[in-house]
Amino acid sequence: MRRIIFLFFLLSGVSSGLLAQDFDDEVSPQAKAAAAMRTKRYREAENLYRQMLEKNPESMTYKHMLSHSLLLQERYGESDSFLRVAYLQDSMHPGTFWYFGISAERQDQYDRAYGFFRKYIDKSKRFSEFNQSAWLHAGSAYRRKMHTLGINATEWSDMVYCYENYLQAQPADPLVPQLQDFLDAVRLKQPRGGQKLVWAEQ
């Protein structure tokens, strides 16, 4: 009797292990890569996206996600290389400009970040929906530039315009009161002529 019970638990354990292995094998590479990105295992995600891209070299999604995993490792040159390949493949794809913008943003390249996010918005107009936070990213690029290098009258206008568009598109965002307070304050500091506004908001 003991032997039968022992064999029952042994077989149960083996079958459970096999089922777990089967379940793991059934999880798609895309799901594994997404899970790795969510848990900040960027190198693992990179390897998975490289494998997927080898099997489907025309995929814009895999190029974009691979570049994203690289820029989150601060490997900006490699990330931008994949984005340039994506741009040559389809110069109209908005996602390429989005990730170029994120890369420039993380490197404090204010003008490039603003330009890429505005291009993302322009290229996305053919779609019914797009990531409205692009307005926030674009405005914030010039806001950070204002803190250090200063912004001229045109850049000031562009910054205000982007923030106004974001507030209109996302009125329920918890950031709205803070953004509105900032706009109210910065409107009193509009640069004139050839002046530059340098303001650290302190």
**For position 135, what pLDDT does the model report?**
97
Tokens describing residue 79: 């990330």
Q: Which residues pair with 197 in a beta bridge?
A: 151
For the stretch 120-158, pLDDT in tens is 999 997 776 789 999 999 999 999 999 999 999 999 999
Taking the C-alpha atoms of residue 120 and residue 30, their distance in angstroms, rounded to an integer, is 24
**For position 120, what pLDDT does the model report?**
97
**For position 27, what pLDDT does the model report?**
83
**For position 20, what pLDDT does the model report?**
42
Residue among 153, 178, 155 at smallest CA distance from 166: 178
**For position 114, what pLDDT does the model report?**
98
All structural domains of the chain with their residue ranges:
24-91, 110-202
**For position 6, what pLDDT does the model report?**
38
- SS3 category, 148: helix
**Do 95 and 63 contact (CB within 8 A), yes or no?**
no
**For position 5, what pLDDT does the model report?**
41
**Do 116 and 101 contact (CB within 8 A), yes or no?**
yes
Tokens describing residue 138: 């674009």
**For position 12, what pLDDT does the model report?**
47
For the stretch 96-107, pLDDT in tens is 999 999 999 999
Output phi, psi for 79, to 5 deg.
Answer: -60, -45
**Which amino acid is residue 48, in one-letter code?**
L
State which CATH number among 3.10.20, 3.30.450, 1.10.3470, 1.25.40 fits the domain covering 110-202.
1.25.40
Distance of CA 138 to the CA centre of its chain: 13
Identify the CATH homologous superfamily for domain 24-91. Answer: Tetratricopeptide repeat domain (1.25.40.10)
Taking the C-alpha atoms of residue 141 and residue 146, their distance in angstroms, rounded to an integer, is 9
Output phi, psi for 169, to 5 deg.
Answer: -80, -30
**For position 10, what pLDDT does the model report?**
37
pLDDT mean for each 10 residues of the chain (202 residues): 42 43 67 95 97 96 96 97 96 95 97 98 82 97 98 98 97 96 97 94 88
